[in-house]
Structure 1
Amino acid sequence: MAVLSSKDLMFENRTLWGVSTAAAVRSIGYGATWPFMAVYFNEYLHLSLIFVGFIFTLNAALSIVFSLFAGYLSDVIGRKWTLISGSVAGFILYALLALLVYRAVLIASALFVMTAFSGSLVYPSANAIVSDVTTEKNREMGYTVYRIMANLGWAVGPLISSFIFRYGFEFIFLFVAVANLLSTIVSLLYVKRNVRYREAKRNFFVVDYRLYLFSIPVFLLIMVSSQFSVTLPIFVVEDLHIVVSNLGYFYAVNGTVVVIGQYPISKLMSRYPDIYALVFGAIFYSIGYLMVSFSRNLPSLIIDMIIITIGENLTSPNINTVVSKIAPKESVGQFMGFIGMVNQLARAAAPSVGTLILYSLGQRPGLVWPVIDIFGISAAILFFSFRGLFVPRKRIRGAAMQN
């Protein structure tokens, strides 16, 4: 059994804990809203399933546009200020959503789509900061600390939203806005370093064949994992007839399992190459979603969520770890921006693909998740097939020098 140590948690690393605390505060807000967003558009604004999928697709598509640029910005103007800009944008957009939540359907939909701008700025800069302040040896544990803190919000946020839900969606959106504001303050106070690399200006586009190959199974993995946000809650509410307010408790399991399970899983997998965690994670995702086909009540769905979250624990920190190790230090932000773009490309396609599968198999719901699992199994096969390519850049350089 993994023993939690203060050395592993790197308490002396103030910047790591600053960016991780900011992520925790921000994720409490997002954890309070995301479980309800698809249901909000479908049940409360009376938008069709296809249009709901389209809204989420646009949200992810806009993230694609910003991700590469945001990664470039984090290298050139600095990680800290790019991170803070994302949190400020989140505060403004969700505050406007709180004001217009029921008054203007199209404007509310457009504002939600625009929230992608906030996340696109935060993702590459926060992950680049973790890479900057950790060594190759302890980087996976650095991302583990960051991920545990970030997912505190997914344990606490949905529970808070289940309480706030009874007062109206405008209070949920206001809660997210306040979380972004507090995250901005934490980043200003505790993220001390604003690392930037002027030489990154020479290369706006990332050119690295290993990154390109790695992005293929990552795309397939995110295609299955992203059913979490749209297809899963709609399936649970409409096909399994679970009460909407119980979604908060269902999704709180996700955050709780991350907080409790991320460290021991990372510690266990630290003895193996990073790529093996991705292989096993894709398999766990596939098993968890397949089990949804056989679930009929909230307790069985909670078991499914635990399996799905183990897959998340295995894959999420290791995607960033692999990218940070194959990236030159002056281009970590750009590499993170590129993999963030791939992530968002999959998130753009996943809602439409998922709702299309859900709609097409409406008379045969038991087939929905086996079809979706094709993406997860394909990802596991490709991660395993490409495993020899994803080694740290220093090791490659060392081998070249010896030759």
Structure 2
Amino acid sequence: MQIDLTDKPRPLDEKWLLFGTLLSNTGNSMIWPVTTLYMTGVLHQSFTMAGLVLMVGSFVGGRLFDNWRPYEAMVITSFIILVAVSSLIIWNGWPVFAFFIWLANFGMGAEQTLVNSFATTIPGEKTRIVFNNMYIVLNIGVVLGTLAVGYLFDYGFNLLMMISAALYFTLMLIIATKFNVPVVRTNTDATGVTTSEETEKVSSVGAPDQRFRLTPVLVAIGALLFITYLSYMLWETVMAPHMKSLGMPTRNYADLWMINGVTIILLQKFVSNWANRRPYQVSVILGSIIFASSFFFLIFVKEFWQIVLVFELLTIGEMLQSPQVPAWVAQITPKEVAGQAQGFVSMMISSGRVIGPIYSGMMMDRGWMKMLFLSVFIIMLIITALLAITMAKRTKKSEENNK
């Protein structure tokens, strides 16, 4: 059989991107809540200390995507996560536990940056559609991971880490065999429609004369991402012990995430169809307002059914906001710095994830749960208002320049 050496290698298949996203987020969702439960319940550390342990790193992932080799970067970060999680099966006492959790989350943050960067390169699809699909799969992973924590935590921490290690091992195999592809960068217009393409060899991604530059809009988007994921971390960390303090079993926490995932699977198509017919800022700002309001109502809840209703409200806001932001950033930044742009997105998400557990842990240690919910509600409304004002000024300036 004769092999045609002139054939160009195929670009990354979206199904492998989505499968990788499912595996990584299932594993991630087993790590985050179990860290707080294990540290406070078994290792007898404070919530503040649990927050300090949850450290991640992401911007480096974007730099590796643009200036180094994205395939090699993905392999290395997946290997780091696998080693860290596998080590936790054996060494999970204090303080070595803190080191391996930090190492795992560092790898997770960098890997998520690279995954988002690869998503901007898939040809033949609108950027919005790719990120919407990733968002749905991500939340399926969250459901599976939190269900595992809720139903298996009482059987031992080691069991959860063995399952997580198996997931990351499978993920590393997929990355090693499916992600070694040429990078096809795409430009998108305001509606996410592809307008041009450029194919580059994977070993020379990015243009050395292009630099990622922050604009007022990007600063506002970054601030919104920061407070959104700071707030979201309340649900992934302190809400499990908070629900326990209200007399609810750990299983209720798992049920909550299962309901969340089912809601997203059923409604995301309708929500994304509505959002995709409108400018990015409309769905992002509206989603942020709905998302923020859920924390105001959380102040008053005491029963599980009330928590479910509040979480459903948060989920609707999340569906409108979260999948739109990476696509929005990809649309307003040059394609040559796609990795750094998505690195910025992941860096702000990771920063929120870092500060969120620390902030919520300090507040919970003092018994200030209502103040915690109220504070994130107010801060998020302020930042959303600033984003709306920034976009209004940008639109006005654009209209004046077109006259």
TM-score (norm 1): 0.84
Match of 1:378 in 2: 382
Q: Which runs of 4+ in 1 moved over 4 A?
A: 388-391
Q: Is residue 248 from structure 1 mapped to residue 236 from structure 2 by the alignment?
A: no
Q: Structure 1 residue 380: deviation in Å?
A: 2.0
- The 1:390/1:43 distance shift into structure 2, 3 A limit, reads farther
What letter corresponds to residue 23 of structure 1 in structure 2? T
Q: Distance in 1 between matches of 2:147 and 2:354?
A: 27
Instruction: Identify the match of residue 292 of structure 1 among 291, 298, 307.
Output: 298
* 8 Å Cα contact 1:76-1:198 kept in structure 2: yes
Q: Distance in 1 between matches of 2:45 and 2:62?
A: 34
Give per-residue Cα distances to partners, 1:364-395, cap 9 Å, x unaligned: 6444312221122123212212225789xxxx
3-state SS of 1:132 partner: coil
Match of 1:138 in 2: 126
Q: Distance in 2 between matches of 1:271 and 1:298?
A: 36
Give per-residue Cα distances to partners, 1:53-85, cap 9 Å, x unaligned: 2222xx14xx1xxx2221111123333332232
Give per-residue Cα distances to partners, 1:221-253, cap 9 Å, x unaligned: 333223222233332223x23223432222233
Which is further off, 113-122 or 228-237? 228-237
* 8 Å Cα contact 1:223-1:375 kept in structure 2: no
- The 1:368/1:342 distance shift into structure 2, 3 A limit, reads closer
- The 1:243/1:79 distance shift into structure 2, 3 A limit, reads same
Match of 2:391 in 1: 387
1:234-273 map, 5 Å: 234-238=241-245, 240-273=246-279
Q: RMSD between aligned alpha carbons? A: 2.7
3-state SS of 2:95 partner: helix
1:44-59 map, 5 Å: 44-56=42-54, 59=55
Q: Is residue 94 from structure 1 mapped to residue 92 from structure 2 by the alignment?
A: no
Q: Structure 1 residue 39: deviation in Å?
A: 1.4
Q: Structure 1 residue 168: deviation in Å?
A: 0.4
Q: Distance in 1 between matches of 2:166 and 2:266?
A: 26
Q: Is residue 225 from structure 1 mapped to residue 213 from structure 2 by the alignment?
A: no
Match of 1:109 in 2: 98
Q: Structure 1 residue 293: deviation in Å?
A: 1.9
Q: Structure 1 residue 278: deviation in Å?
A: 1.4
1:310-321 map, 5 Å: 310-321=316-327
Q: Structure 1 residue 197: deviation in Å?
A: 7.2
3-state SS of 2:146 partner: helix
Q: Structure 1 residue 337: deviation in Å?
A: 1.0
Instruction: Identify the match of residue 159 of structure 1 among 147, 152, 160.
Output: 147
Match of 2:112 in 1: 123
3-state SS of 2:300 partner: coil
Match of 2:218 in 1: 211
TM-score (norm 2): 0.84
Q: Distance in 2 between matches of 1:272 and 1:197?
A: 37
Q: Distance in 2 between matches of 1:37 and 1:257?
A: 26
Aligned residues: 372
* 8 Å Cα contact 2:69-2:205 kept in structure 1: no
- The 1:268/1:383 distance shift into structure 2, 3 A limit, reads same
Q: Distance in 2 between matches of 1:348 and 1:205?
A: 26
- The 1:160/1:354 distance shift into structure 2, 3 A limit, reads closer
- The 1:70/1:114 distance shift into structure 2, 3 A limit, reads same
Q: Distance in 2 between matches of 1:389 and 1:40?
A: 48
* 8 Å Cα contact 2:77-2:111 kept in structure 1: yes
Q: Distance in 2 between matches of 1:166 and 1:365?
A: 26
Runs of 5+ unmatched residues, structure 1: 1-11
What letter corresponds to residue 247 of structure 1 in structure 2? Y
Q: Structure 1 residue 126: deviation in Å?
A: 1.0
Q: Is residue 173 from structure 1 mapped to residue 161 from structure 2 by the alignment?
A: yes
Q: Which has the higher helix share?
A: 1
- The 1:129/1:199 distance shift into structure 2, 3 A limit, reads closer
- The 1:351/1:389 distance shift into structure 2, 3 A limit, reads farther
Q: Distance in 2 between matches of 1:83 and 1:199?
A: 14
Q: Distance in 2 between matches of 1:365 and 1:211?
A: 31
Q: Is residue 325 from structure 1 mapped to residue 331 from structure 2 by the alignment?
A: yes
What letter corresponds to residue 67 of structure 2 in structure 1? V
Q: Is residue 74 from structure 1 mapped to residue 65 from structure 2 by the alignment?
A: yes
- The 1:168/1:121 distance shift into structure 2, 3 A limit, reads same
